[in-house]
Amino acid sequence: MFRVSMGVALAILLGGVVTACLLAGKGPEKRVLGLDKVIAFTYGPAKDFDPKQLRSVTFFGPSKPEVWQYWQARGVVTGVGHTWFDLLRSPLDKAVDNLVGQNYGGNPKPVVMIDEFGFDFGGGMDEKSAQVLRQTKRRRPELALAVWEMRGPIPQVLAEAYRDVADLVMMESYVGNQRQYWFIASQVWSARRYGILSKTIVVLGVGKGGNPGENWAQTKEELEQQIRFVRLIAPESPGVGFYGGTAELLARADALCARFADLPTDGAGLPADVLAVAKTFSSRHEKPTLAVSPDLVQPDYDENGTGRLVEPKTMRAYLINLGDKDAQNVKVRLRNPPDKGGDVFAEGVVPLIPKRGEAVGVLPVTAEWHEWVGEWEVEVEAPGCEVLAFSLKH
């Protein structure tokens, strides 16, 4: 049995060869939103930073509908924002109406930036999100769909919808230091698996978020290292993005991205432990090798976005198999931390996690849980498998 908890150190496989796709440095196969590269600055640059100062930006927003002409003259695509609330809390037809009928300021090539999808690793809310996207594109094909994807790797139902109808996917990769880079690597892994990395960008959190504990890249050095890490693990991606930020850090990001294509894709200059994270998710592993984390577990939510859970209650655990062999009959348990009783509150068996693939374990809830995502413990029984434990807390 292997236990994953807040106190477990990050397990990293050393050695191996980075796959050719990481070293090739090839750009996207086709232009995204008509752009040669996507350098996105999103959501509220610092009040003392005028976004018109940006020189590397090619995608900006969410913005007011009427500003698209100014930015278009500079070769920049803008998007009008739309939050998920009325999309998932409305009947499907009404949700599509809300997107199709939004004010886009007369832009002949309108873009909507949807904030945000990716709630329950393929559960009810994710399934409805996928339907909203598909029907919106069917109703208004010229409306470009740019979607923020949160909470880690992209589950199948959303990845397939993004592949078919999204124009840009923006993965929320808000981390503070290299101990958390596994989170970015797992997101990129999922985008590559479903063939959408060529229209997907990693969006880095800059500075601090609005909630306690949201401490992201807060120095120029850390920000640059994250950008260089993205270039290493996602050379096929059309660019990179930034969320929030201070004037100083945004200026640094802008300067670096002015030469984004020249940043190395072979990891040159990155520390050994950062390179090891990339290798963990790109090297070949002979035996089944599972990447698991308490941060990659979510309840199955009611599709209507009310916060209620589907009955009977289940937890959905996203599991990655990095190995060249299938993992079978993997037992997964969720346990309250020791100071909250230490008892198991959900458990189940995942029959198959295919080689170089993923599966979502549906775990029936059997007792009360007393912590939230990332705070509980995950126990995995996987005979014959290597199990890598990850956590955003350590």
Same-domain check for residues 40 and 129: yes
Query: In the structure, what pLDDT confidence band is assigned to residue 278 with cuts at 50, 70 and 90?
Result: very high
Same-domain check for residues 300 and 353: yes
Q: Is the distance from CB of 288 to CB of 355 less than 8 angstroms? A: yes
The secondary structure of the chain in percent helix, strand, coil, rounded to multiples of 5, reads 30, 30, 40
Flag whether pLDDT at 226 surpasses 80: yes
Six-digit token string for 204: 């880095």
- What's the average model confidence in pLDDT over 210-236? 95
- Is the dihedral angle over the CA atoms 363, 364, 370, 373 positive or is it negative? positive
The set of residues, in sequence order, having a beta carbon less than 8 Å from that of 280 and lying 6+ positions away, is 12, 13, 182, 185, 291, 322, 388
- What's the average model confidence in pLDDT over 370-381? 92
Same-domain check for residues 43 and 77: yes
- Cα–Cα distance measured from residue 76 to residue 111, given in angstroms and rounded to the nearest whole number: 12
pLDDT digits (tens, 9 = 90+) for 43-68: 866 778 899 999 999 999 999 999 99
Query: Would you state the pLDDT for residue 26?
Result: 44
Same-domain check for residues 270 and 312: no
Query: Would you state the pLDDT for residue 271?
Result: 98
Q: Residue 234: what are its φ and ψ, rounded to 5°?
A: -140, 55
- What's the average model confidence in pLDDT over 125-129? 97
Query: Would you state the pLDDT for residue 297?
Result: 97
Query: Would you state the pLDDT for residue 48?
Result: 80
Strands across the sheet containing 38-42: 77-78, 59-61, 38-42, 239-244, 200-206, 168-173, 144-149, 111-117, 80-83
Query: In the structure, what pLDDT confidence band is assigned to residue 1 with cuts at 50, 70 and 90?
Result: low
Query: Would you state the pLDDT for residue 20?
Result: 38
What's the structural domain count of the chain?
2
- Cα–Cα distance measured from residue 139 to residue 95, given in angstroms and rounded to the nearest whole number: 12
Final residue of a structural domain among 282, 315, 350: 282
Structural domain of 239: 20-282
Query: Would you state the pLDDT for residue 39?
Result: 98
Least-confidence region, from 114-118, 198-202, 317-321, 374-378: 374-378
| % of the chain residues with pLDDT over 70 | 92
pLDDT digits (tens, 9 = 90+) for 160-170: 999 999 999 99
Flag whether pLDDT at 264 surpasses 60: yes
Residue 256: inside a domain: yes
Residue predicted with more confidence, 210 or 19: 210
Query: Would you state the pLDDT for residue 98?
Result: 98
Q: Is the distance from CB of 108 to CB of 115 less than 8 angstroms? A: no
- Cα–Cα distance measured from residue 69 to residue 64, given in angstroms and rounded to the nearest whole number: 11
DSSP 149-200: E-SSSPPHHHHHHHHHH-SEEEEEE--SSGGGHHHHHHHHHHHHHTT-GGGE
Closest among 198, 240, 244 to 57, alpha carbons compared: 240
Q: Which residues of 316-353 are buried (b: 16+ CB within 10 A; e: fewer)?
A: bbbbbbbbebebbebbbbbbbbeeeeeebbbbbebeeb
- Cα–Cα distance measured from residue 157 to residue 53, given in angstroms and rounded to the nearest whole number: 39
Q: Whole-number mean pLDDT of the chain? A: 92
pLDDT digits (tens, 9 = 90+) for 105-125: 999 999 999 999 999 999 999
CATH number at residue 348: 2.60.40
Six-digit token string for 84: 């998920």
The set of residues, in sequence order, having a beta carbon less than 8 Å from that of 202 and lying 6+ positions away, is 171, 173, 184, 187, 188, 230, 234, 237, 240, 241
Query: Would you state the pLDDT for residue 394?
Result: 67
DSSP 8-state code for residue 285: B
Residue 394: inside a domain: no
- Cα–Cα distance measured from residue 79 to residue 90, given in angstroms and rounded to the nearest whole number: 22
- Cα–Cα distance measured from residue 157 to residue 372, given in angstroms and rounded to the nearest whole number: 24
Residue 15: inside a domain: no
Flag whether pLDDT at 88 surpasses 80: yes
Query: Would you state the pLDDT for residue 118?
Result: 97
Q: Is the distance from CB of 255 to CB of 220 less than 8 angstroms? A: no
Same-domain check for residues 45 and 171: yes
Query: In the structure, what pLDDT confidence band is assigned to residue 3 with cuts at 50, 70 and 90?
Result: low
Q: Which pTM was predicted?
A: 0.92
Same-domain check for residues 270 and 353: no
Closest among 224, 257, 212 to 239, alpha carbons compared: 257
Query: Would you state the pLDDT for residue 213?
Result: 83
Same-domain check for residues 256 and 306: no
Same-domain check for residues 194 and 314: no
Same-domain check for residues 111 and 163: yes
Query: Would you state the pLDDT for residue 6?
Result: 36
Final residue of a structural domain among 260, 282, 304: 282
Flag whether pLDDT at 298 surpasses 50: yes
